[in-house]
Amino acid sequence: MSAHLMIKRNLAAVCALVGSVGLSFAQQDVGAFYKDKTLSLIVGTGAGGGYDLLARTIARHMVRHIPGNPNIVVQNMPGGGALLATNHLFNIAAKDGSVFASLSNNTPFEPLFGTKEARYNAAQFNWLGSPSSEVGLVAVWSGNPVKTLADARLREITIGSTGVNGTPSFYARLLNETLGTKIRIIVGYKGQNEMFLAMERGELDASSSIFYSSLIATRPDWLSDKKVNLLVQYGLERQPELESVPFAPDLVKNDDDKALMTAAFAPLAVGRPYAMPPNVPVARVEAMRKALEGTFRDKAFIDDATTQKLDVTRPLSGQRILEIIASAYALPEAQVTRLRKLSTQ
């Protein structure tokens, strides 16, 4: 049986259990367990990036919300687009409640995309929550003759990517297939900053996958000074500040294309998710969920994140993350094949 089918069969049952407290653990003194403990917060990316900065900010404030007020030590575990950390969390990490992780938003969906290196079942993680969801943008440098989505259907624009299967490449292929754009992919860039610099130099025309949160954090002048034209926004929800920018799911009429977009945009919807391994005592999972939710409501945390231009404006619960995962894995098999073709070219 395929990993996709196995996860699909388990998701409904797991969704029903999220948020419940097992009787066998209900009497545990969670505070006694966490008192004087040092918890490990694994970050699936390298030091200094957005995921790392957010995780360290959360760790500073979350300790006040966990019963027993334990310490939290952040440990970076980059590799394989966060697959190294995700596999570790599922298969190796301690399952006593002392380890949790900041995972990249692609990792819950890698088994669905057919990634062989993904050795885990996304439905079996204990999802804790996420500080926000992401919205993707197609942004074209202002000097380019392509000013609208209609123009992008008639004229070719170039975007950069780290590789043929990088996030910009995937979303460029998706938009070409569903919206009829003419986006040409140029691979070989080291990362987003290098691609942004290439746009500023005129080496690239556009980006197919600028996240709104990254744009306002790293290039706020691109919007304020109208250095880019935003052709389309995409995700499972609109960005409220960009009401005039067309929303990709509203532009497709074909039901198959709508279903494909729902699955393809699911990683954006879960934002920057936090999770614990499977089989952690339920009372400890619940305590950590409440602690993370409390952190997201904490004014001191919000002020700290805002000062660092970190987007924490639309938090999601662990239950909501699992619902998004379940919806993506419910994609019909024919569309799974189509999704995997777009993911691995």
pTM of the predicted protein model: 0.81
Report the distance separating Cα 306 and Cα 135, nearest Å: 18
State residue 115's pLDDT score. Answer: 87
Q: What 3 state SS string does 30-59 have?
A: HHHHHCCCEEEEEECCCCCCHHHHHHHHHH
The pLDDT tens digits of the residues spanning 114-132 come to: 888 999 999 999 999 999 9
State residue 22's pLDDT score. Answer: 44
What are the φ and ψ backbone dihedral angles of 234, each rounded to 5 degrees?
Answer: -150, 155
Parallel, antiparallel or unpaired: strands 183-187 and 157-161: parallel
Structurally, at CATH architecture level, domain 136-264 sits in 3-Layer(aba) Sandwich (3.40)
State residue 213's pLDDT score. Answer: 84
Taking only Cα atoms into account, the Rg of the chain, rounded to an integer number of angstroms, comes to 20
State residue 189's pLDDT score. Answer: 86
Query: Structure tokens of 282?
Result: 């339920």
Report the distance separating Cα 284 and Cα 66, nearest Å: 10
Q: How far is CA 40 from the centre of its chain?
A: 21
- Give the residue ranges of the chain where pLDDT is below 70: 1-28, 345
How distant, in Å, are the alpha carbons of 119, 125, 136, 267, 333 from that of 112? Answer: 12, 15, 20, 11, 10
Whether the Cβ atoms of residue 184 and residue 157 lie closer than 8 Å to each other: yes
Domains of the chain by residue range: 3-133+270-332, 136-264
Burial track 69-86 (b if 16+ CB lie within 10 A, e otherwise)? ebebebebbbebbbbebb
The correct CATH number of 3-133+270-332 out of 3.10.450.50, 3.40.190.150, 3.30.70.1350, 3.30.470.20 is 3.40.190.150
